Structure 1
Amino acid sequence: MSRSIALVLGSFLAVNAAARVLWPGFDATIWLLDLRAWPAWLGTTLIATVAAALLSFACRPRMGQFRQRLTMAAILLLCLAALVDSARIAAMYLAGEVRFGTVIALSWFVLAASVVVLVGAIRSRTHRDVKRGRMLAMGVVPACLAAFPLAQMFLFGVTDYRRPADAILVFGSRTYADGQMSSALTDRMKTACELYRDGLAPKLILSGGPGDGAVHETEAMRSYATLHGVPDAAILLDPEGLNTRSTIRNASALAQKHGLTSMLAVSHFYHLPRVKMTADRAGLAVFTVPSPQGQPLNRLPYFLAREVAACWAYYVKP
């Protein structure tokens, strides 16, 4: 198991170490560790060093004493970075900067994974069951690929980052043929209107696509907003928000046109990691706010599975 985790974690860090140098918008290291407070060169060096050590261990687990010590030192560096990140998150919580939907931080999982790999590296000189390790890898690697986006949804996605901003960006969802909004869209609009009434932003950006019938998603959203205390003059429509990428692209254009520098992005928890990743790559400053579910979403398992695939698709295609 330790080699499988090392392979997945090392591959992710290696890709992002290269991205920090060659394609900065592609760097997604922040989803594991927030190194923005570190000097850029130091953060890149740390990521590259740890990635090399993890991949080396994953591919060639039998090590001499010298390489074993180097590998263990690199993993301990990753543990230290995870501890620092955990302390930062705790400080944000104590300062009231965020509202956590869960008390667990992803950096804790990074720390736990690092410890598992560290134990594997310590045992590497005596462990000989290569066949068993390969069989475990066949199951652990796919599990890690699915678990990473799910962890983002249930840790980052449920965390409320509401604060004063220039606008509230609402992501559309289904509108039925009779013009009624789906329960998912109603949840999002209810949250957005509450944010507006609380004075956190002076404008709403309503983004969506065609409905099932003659009523466009954005028109249904506008009708709901005006009925719940938002003046029409405070509403901006994006009728071409056919998907997450187009909504972010159109919101960026509206931000430039209207001089908006920050937004609160409202959607369901499982969608928000992809929203944040796409916005960061577009250079759009957004703070995510999950919309509570007014009633259970019957297709939630399907939405989660679809979002796992969508997160990786958006990651590999900027």
Structure 2
Amino acid sequence: MAARATALFLGSFTLLNLALAPIVPGFDANIWWIDDRILPSFLRPGVLLICGLGLTLYALPVVFYAGAQWTRRRRRQSPIPDIDAYMFAYPNWQRLINRVLIVSVLLLVPIVGVNIVRYYELLHTGEILARFPLSFSLLVLIGLMVPAGQAVRNLRCSVRPEAGGSSQSGVRGMRAYVRDILRFCFYGLCAVFLFPLAQMFCFGYTDYRRPADAAVAFGARVYADGRLSTAVYDRTRTAVELYRAGFVRYLIFSGGPGDGGIHETAAMRDYALRHGVPADRILLDPAGLDTESTVRNSCALLRSRGADSMLAVSTFYHLPRIKLTIQRSACVGYTVPARESRILRLLPWYLFREVPAFWYYYSVAPFAPRYH
């Protein structure tokens, strides 16, 4: 069931992104799991369409099995022992979906392999930095091997399970039915949860710093006495380091009200001034109440000065969602994880909370207006 759930997640994610691409210009969320730019542009949609269909097709027997089991129950017929028995009742169909799945994976593996090699080449040359040097493409490769390995085993298996007709086997069949459906749903939810979580560590901990017009530090809690919380201290310090290293010309501090009378952006500005950043190089966005407003307002500040590139600085788990938002803007943006002074006390909660936030931003991205 893990193999079919993984295949369904990757397949449906791919097909959904392909369906939205012609409707929403510039929307290409498949880049989040595979970079197919090594292929000629005219081949990319076709290859991903074939692979998306192949992966999704591999998971469809679960739906048919559930429907057949429900129908037999309503007709008071003996339940099917399990999904394997159901599939062996249709050998030609089983061989077809397994072969299509294997072909789909074989098409994807070279692309994913190039992605992995390219990632470590960039690390080696110093074009990117990573505190968690694990390529997300390597996890994708492992994820593809799960259904592919199961498909190969299915093709090699020639023993047909015996259909049970006794009441005892019927009870086992219903138990297997409930167990299989629950397992399928569980593994599917795991895929939905683990995908953004892996992005937080693999993408979030990758440092894409390069020359840009401004570094944008995203706000976080400022205490009533004006002290910076750990999160906002790390973000502000990293932004100042980028300025002092010559990567950017401006610093943009974005945030909302603090716990007391001191605004988050004012506290961040004071830190930068104390560390040698000239006041005329600091821009404030006091209306940056969330990720979307920060990106929108920062882009407007840059465009008003004839600039359009930014380095987004925040805590690692926040960066995938920031990148999703930047992709809707008229600005060019790269992400830089804040250098951590210590591990956040509530980090597990922040990671858990970020998962639904990631999917929410993904779901609204195709339909939200672009920022200018």
Query: Contact 1:267/1:290 (CA < 8 Å) preserved in 2?
Result: yes
Which of the numbers 305, 318, 324 marks the counterpart of 1:258? 305
Deviations along 1:53-105, whole A, 9 cap, x unmatched?
11111013743544433331111111121111112212212221001212210
Which position in structure 2 is the counterpart of 1:267? 314
User: Could you state the TM-score of these two structures normalised by the residue count of structure 2?
Assistant: 0.81
Query: Contact 1:19/1:25 (CA < 8 Å) preserved in 2?
Result: no
Which position in structure 2 is the counterpart of 1:306? 353
Q: Give the deviation of 1:215 after TM superposition.
A: 0.9
Amino acid at match of 2:149: V
**Paired residue secondary structure (1:163):** coil
- 1:21–1:178 CA distance, 2 compared to 1 (3 A): same
Q: Give the deviation of 1:181 after TM superposition.
A: 1.5
Which position in structure 2 is the counterpart of 1:212? 259
Deviations along 1:170-213, whole A, 9 cap, x unmatched?
10001111222111111111111111111111100111111111
Amino acid at match of 1:193: V
Pairing 1:94–2:141 present = no
**Paired residue secondary structure (1:169):** strand
Which position in structure 2 is the counterpart of 1:170? 217
**Paired residue secondary structure (1:9):** helix
CA distance in structure 2 between the partners assigned to 1:110 and 1:307 by the alignment: 21
Rg larger in structure: 2
CA distance in structure 2 between the partners assigned to 1:31 and 1:227 by the alignment: 39
Query: Contact 2:285/2:297 (CA < 8 Å) preserved in 1?
Result: yes
After superposing the two structures, state which structure 1 stretch, 32-41 or 6-15, moved more: 32-41
Query: Contact 2:308/2:330 (CA < 8 Å) preserved in 1?
Result: no
Which position in structure 1 is the counterpart of 2:11? 10
Query: Contact 2:302/2:308 (CA < 8 Å) preserved in 1?
Result: yes
**Paired residue secondary structure (2:313):** strand
**Paired residue secondary structure (2:316):** coil
CA distance in structure 1 between the partners assigned to 2:11 and 2:147 by the alignment: 11
**Paired residue secondary structure (1:271):** helix
Which position in structure 2 is the counterpart of 1:72? 102
Which position in structure 2 is the counterpart of 1:38? 39
Equivalenced residues, count:
318
Query: Contact 2:57/2:97 (CA < 8 Å) preserved in 1?
Result: no
Give the alignment's Cα RMSD to 1 decimal: 1.8
Query: Contact 2:123/2:129 (CA < 8 Å) preserved in 1?
Result: yes
Which position in structure 1 is the counterpart of 2:82? none
Query: Contact 1:20/1:44 (CA < 8 Å) preserved in 2?
Result: no
Query: Contact 1:171/1:267 (CA < 8 Å) preserved in 2?
Result: yes
CA distance in structure 2 between the partners assigned to 1:218 and 1:109 by the alignment: 38
Deviations along 1:253-295, whole A, 9 cap, x unmatched?
1121112221111100000111111101223211111112212
Which of the numbers 217, 220, 228 marks the counterpart of 1:181? 228
Amino acid at match of 1:179: G
Which position in structure 1 is the counterpart of 2:115? 85
Which position in structure 2 is the counterpart of 1:48? 49
Amino acid at match of 1:144: A
Which position in structure 1 is the counterpart of 2:324? 277
- 1:110–1:313 CA distance, 2 compared to 1 (3 A): same
Amino acid at match of 2:134: I
Which position in structure 2 is the counterpart of 1:224? 271
CA distance in structure 1 between the partners assigned to 2:97 and 2:358 by the alignment: 35
Amino acid at match of 1:85: N
CA distance in structure 2 between the partners assigned to 1:137 and 1:68 by the alignment: 18
Identity %: 43
After superposing the two structures, state which structure 1 stretch, 185-194 or 114-123, moved more: 114-123
User: Could you state the TM-score of these two structures normalised by the residue count of structure 1?
Assistant: 0.94
CA distance in structure 1 between the partners assigned to 2:6 and 2:149 by the alignment: 12
CA distance in structure 2 between the partners assigned to 1:74 and 1:255 by the alignment: 44
CA distance in structure 2 between the partners assigned to 1:297 and 1:66 by the alignment: 50
